[in-house]
Copies of this chain bind each other. A is one copy, B any other.
Amino acid sequence: MRSSARVHGKKATQVAAAVLGSVLLIAATNKTLADDPLSSWNDTTPKKAIIDFVERVTKPASPDFVRPEERIATFDNDGTLWAEKPIYFQFQFALDRVKALAPQHPEWKNKEPFNHLITGDMKAFLAGGEKSVMAVMAASHTGITTDEFDKIVKDWLRTARHPKTGRRYTEMVYQPMLELLAYLRANGFKTFIVSGGGVEFMRVFTNKSYGIPPEQVVGSSAVTRYQFAADGKPELLREAKVLFVDDGPGKAEGINTFIGRRPIAAFGNSDGDQQMLEWTAAGSGARFALIVHHDDAEREWAYDRKSDVGKLDKAWDEAVAKGWTVVSMKDDWATIFPPTK
């Protein structure tokens, strides 16, 4: 017993040391992870540029210090915070909605462009161009109250699955960008979405998915009409009339009209974000402009100058010319999507 105890004692010590070592190692690793708010970003140029910028504008002694209330950061949504392939997710919502409504519209069987959607002839549908798209957007997004629309979007986001990944659409957000949003907010930034997408569509999920509340979402919008329901309560009807298109130059205009301050940092991925980045970068003091380049066909999609969705051409040239930060999803992001629940 005694010699065995000694033997075991010795072994136990070794085991304890080994275990303790592992624990310390794990603790150290966890500490490193916990200490790195951008752990899904590889240690390449973009991550360093982000951290450098944030430190420059937040350290009180820095010549580039910016007061917290002026730390406005704006983010495009489609292709910047969540994926946008094979088609914009909001357009997929519109198509699904038209299909769901088809039984109530027997006349659609003989009516362009709805007939093509009912028979599933996407080629014929797309031949109709923008006119067809607008018809589908109107049929799916208007003629209902804001409360009804909110409920329909909620239901769709809960049930619909992405055709390629099988994930819910809200699970196709980019993990590195979630970390970036949180990192900026931890450093006193106020984060906004400035997207061509519908403002009411986005507001359904931005708070939960990105930590961005409804009042910090700028987007395209329809005219609404204040009226009274049968029960005498007021309601807002979504009309088939565009109020504001928050895309391209509209992003700079929308920032001014809806936010009223020029951002000091802006994040986008396509030519639709070019003016937002320009407008941001042209302000005085330290500025940060970043473009996400979709170049990872394996883990996501690879597209840029020739894409019909999220085309990145002129904004890329300007980014290179002006020294904006360009993120390679392939090289700069360790992870693309968050783990599914």
Contacts and interface: CB of A to CB of B under 8 A. Distances in A.
Interface of A: 69, 72, 146, 190, 192, 199-200, 203, 213-217, 221, 223-226, 233-234, 236, 243-244, 249-250, 252-253, 256-261, 275, 278-279, 282
Nearest to A223: B253
Number of copies: 2
B224 A259 contact: no
Contact of A260 (B215, B226, B256, B279): B215
Nearest to A227: B249
Given A214-B259, A214-B260, A253 B226 contact: yes
Contact of A225 (B200, B213, B249): B249
A217 B261 CA distance: 11
Given A234-B278, A275-B234, A278-B234, A203 B260 contact: yes
A256 B146 contact: yes
A72 B226 CA distance: 20
A257 B279 CA distance: 23
A226 to B, nearest CB: 4
B236 A252 contact: yes
B226 A249 contact: yes
Contacts of A199: 257, 260
B260 A221 contact: no
Most chain B Cβ neighbours within 10 Å, of A69, A258, A279: A258
Contact of A243 (B225, B244, B259, B275): B244
Most chain B Cβ neighbours within 10 Å, of A217, A223, A225, A252: A252
B226 A261 contact: no
A226 B275 contact: yes
A235 to B, nearest CB: 9
A297 to B, nearest CB: 34
Contacts of A275: 226, 234
Contacts of A223: 253
Most chain B Cβ neighbours within 10 Å, of A217, A221, A236, A260: A260
A159 B41 CA distance: 52
Contacts of A200: 256, 260
A212 to B, nearest CB: 11
Contacts of A224: 253, 256-257
Given A226-B250, A243-B244, A243-B257, 7 more contacts: A199-B260, A225-B249, A225-B253, A234-B275, A234-B279, A234-B282, A243-B243
